[in-house]
Amino acid sequence: MKKSTIVLLALLGLCSVAFAGEDGSVLYKKCAVCHGAQGEKAAFEKSKVIRDMSKDQISAALKGYKDGSYGGAQKGLMKGQVASLTNDQISALAAHIAK
């Protein structure tokens, strides 16, 4: 799959976040495009495998992406993905991924 297609799918998934409330499984749907259905993939072969991270690590990473204080090669892409998430949504998403 081309990178542009993956980015487009991720952005389309972002639209559904506005309606997701705080349901981590619904929020995760946009993440699954790059990270895999169970968080088993290294997105673009550059990220950590998120299923191996704790809830606290995931939450800290997402908040760091949001405020620009965290990230490596995909920092810019991830900042856009989490920009609209509330702290409650970040917490729900982190709990879902870590379970």
What is the predicted pLDDT for the residue at 95?
A: 97
CA 67 to chain centre: 14
Is residue 90 exposed (0-12), middle (13-18) or buried (19+ Cβ within 10 Å)? buried
Q: Give the pLDDT of residue 7.
A: 46
Q: How many percent of the chain have pLDDT more than 70?
A: 79
Q: 82 near 62, Cβ under 8 Å?
A: yes
**Confidence category of residue 13, pLDDT binned at 50, 70, 90:** low
Note down the domain range covering 14.
3-98
Please tell me the total count of domains within the chain.
1
Confidence of residue 74 (pLDDT cuts 50, 70, 90): confident
- Which of the two residues, 13 and 80, has the higher pLDDT score? 80
What is the pTM (predicted TM-score) of this model?
0.76
CATH number at residue 22: 1.10.760
Q: Which pLDDT belongs to residue 11? A: 46
